[in-house]
Amino acid sequence: MTPADGAESFVPVPVPASSGGAREQTASGRLDDAVRVDPAASYARSAAAAVADERERAVISAQLGRPARGQPAVVHRCGFGLPTVARVQPRLEDDTPFPTVFWLTCPVLRSRVGRLEADHAMVGLNARLEDEPEFAAAYAAASERYVAFRDALGGPLPGDPSAGGMPGYIKCLHVHAGHHLATGDNPVGAWTIEHATPAPCDGPCVPEALLDDGSPQG
């Protein structure tokens, strides 16, 4: 796959990633493999992540193009040390249910996952759920663990919904990609990340004014 079109470039800073090992930058500062699965990802580590401070919340908001909600906490970072996935609380500040716990914030990866959806990848994946009992069982089990994790964060939600179509259907690859990067526990997310990476990135995806001294937060 090709890099995301129209991505604004900023001067990269030497921020170490919190997961996935060292990246090699080109002479221009570009990373050819900016997002990697972290073998140490887990629900426990995602639960332990601190709520983002004001600066990092501004970074997440800039990545999403809207104000960050749900007391976000960074649970996965890219090779530039910036948020890739944010964990949010299952209820907003006004008590509105917010069932999607893990949000994919990286603009480059969101674009690449969007291309998979545009290429109708979910049609084939949903067919696999029907045709491959082991795949379907693994997906359903991941959904159970996802809901249990969310309930532990803020209690059950009305109707006890899962997210992204789980447990029996697939309707949003972004949700599954974020779930897998955060926890390593989503077979559809694993497929999505495998097919959306490597994810080349020209540099930090937010304005330089939002970059700190290079020390990851959260």
Quote the tokens at residue 149: 């994790």
Place of tokens 């069932």: 99
What does the alpha-carbon distance between residue 52 and residue 182 come to, in Å, rounded to a whole number? 15
Cβ neighbours around 47 below 10 Å, total: 14
Report which of 35, 19, 61 is spatially closest to residue 196, judged by C-alpha positions. Answer: 35
| Sequence-distant (≥ 6) Cβ neighbours of residue 10 within 8 angstroms | 203, 204, 205, 206, 207, 208, 211
Mean pLDDT of the chain: 87
Q: For residue 212, what pLDDT is reported?
A: 65
Beta strands in 31-185 (DSSP E): 73-77, 83-87, 102-104
Helices (H) and strands (E) in the chain, counts: 7, 3
Q: Is the pTM of this model over 0.95?
A: no
pLDDT over 90 at 118, yes or no: yes
Residue 141 has pLDDT above 60, yes or no: yes
User: Could you read off the pLDDT of 49-107 as tens digits, one per residue?
Assistant: 999 999 999 999 999 999 999 999 999 999 999 999 999 999 998 999 999 999 999 99
| pLDDT the model gives residue 173 | 98
Q: Which residue has the tokens 């693994």?
A: 138
